[in-house]
């Protein structure tokens, strides 16, 4: 088991990438804390893990609130005695996120609070716990759009994910000597609710697929596999990385000079 004896906290663990990651990591031996604002979905993941013989707990947490972020870390340590892996995965893509002229200020603020401030707060309270455990791994979910921009305007989302990349690099440098690794996981276009709510017709989906060299959307379980590598000791010399799992889309559109 690749995560035996590790305790992992996953935000946004009730659906999508978070759900698939929680199930996979539990199968690989980790004790899981699922954090989400969707109580029913999060609890369902926990029940599925327990039914399969794993160990898991659910905690309600709005990652944009400091008290909730602190509370989810405390729950992990209280329930399982330590924290080894922090997956700052919770995020939103607002349906009214658009270009600079059209995006409402409240949409910008909400997106930044969850996607960027939420990662900051997770690290603020998670890093001391990782120190107490003697080190560990932080994985921050960014996006391929942080590197090349979105074909469909979603300025707040793109900017928030660019911020996650910058924050990840700095945290990686600051905490490297503490045996705390910090990496950014950058999914490409996925067949998840987050993207499919925009690509809600066959024509829209085909227009996006034209840009993906592999000719298909990624699946959440494929991102979970990449996250597993970053969580495990197999990635012991990997920190500050922009870890792309994008079907080749950035290779097709970003030159070495631009990256």
Give me the catalytic one of 125, 157, 198, 253. 157
The predicted-structure confidence for 92-115, as pLDDT tens digits, reads as follows 999 999 999 999 999 999 999 999
Name the token pair of 6.
Answer: 């590790």
In 3D, which of 94, 253, 86 has the Cα closest to residue 185? 86
3-state helix, strand, coil in the chain (%, to 5): 50, 15, 35
Q: Which own/partner pairs from 37-44 qualify as long-range (CB within 8 Å, at least 24 positions apart)?
A: 37/61, 37/62, 38/14, 40/14, 41/14, 41/15, 42/13, 42/14, 44/14
The predicted-structure confidence for 227-237, as pLDDT tens digits, reads as follows 999 999 999 99
Q: How far apart are CA 27 and CA 91, in angstroms?
A: 24
For the chain, what is the mean pLDDT? 93
Per-residue pLDDT for 257 more than 60?
A: no
The predicted pLDDT at position 254 comes to 66
Residue boundaries of the structural domains of the chain: 7-253
Q: Would residue 253 show up in a list of annotated catalytic residues for this protein?
A: no
The predicted pLDDT at position 198 comes to 60
Pick the CATH number of 7-253 from 3.30.460.80, 3.40.1440.60, 3.40.50.720, 3.40.640.10: 3.40.50.720
Q: Which residue has the higher pLDDT, 196 or 22?
A: 22
| Band of residue 204 on the pLDDT scale cut at 50, 70, 90 | low
């Amino acid at each position: 088991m690749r995560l035996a004896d590790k305790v992992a906290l996953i935000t946004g663990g009730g659906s999508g990438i978070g759900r698939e990651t929680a199930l996979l990591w539990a199968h690989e031996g980790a004790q899981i804390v699922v954090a989400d604002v969707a109580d029913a979905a999060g609890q369902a993941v926990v029940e599925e893990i327990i039914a399969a013989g794993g160990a898991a707990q659910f905690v309600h947490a709005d990652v944009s609130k400091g008290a909730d972020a602190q509370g989810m870390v405390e729950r992990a340590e209280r329930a399982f005695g330590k924290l080894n892996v922090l997956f700052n995965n919770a995020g939103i893509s607002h349906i009214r996120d658009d270009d600079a002229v059209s995006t409402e200020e409240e949409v910008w603020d909400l997106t930044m609070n969850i996607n960027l401030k939420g990662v900051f707060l997770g690290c603020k309270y998670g890093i001391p716990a990782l120190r107490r455990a003697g080190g560990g791994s932080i994985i921050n979910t960014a996006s391929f759009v942080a590197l090349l921009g979105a074909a469909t305007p979603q300025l707040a989302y793109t900017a928030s994910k660019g911020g996650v990349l910058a924050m990840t690099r700095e945290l990686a440098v600051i905490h490297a000597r503490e045996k705390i690794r910090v990496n950014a996981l950058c999914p490409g276009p996925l067949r998840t609710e987050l993207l499919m709510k925009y690509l809600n017709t066959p024509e829209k989906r085909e227009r996006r697929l034209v840009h993906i060299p592999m000719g298909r959307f990624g699946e959440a379980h494929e991102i979970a596999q990449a996250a597993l590598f970053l969580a495990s000791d197999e990635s012991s010399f990997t920190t500050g990385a922009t870890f792309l799992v994008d079907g080749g889309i950035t290779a097709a559109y970003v030159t070495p000079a631009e990256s």
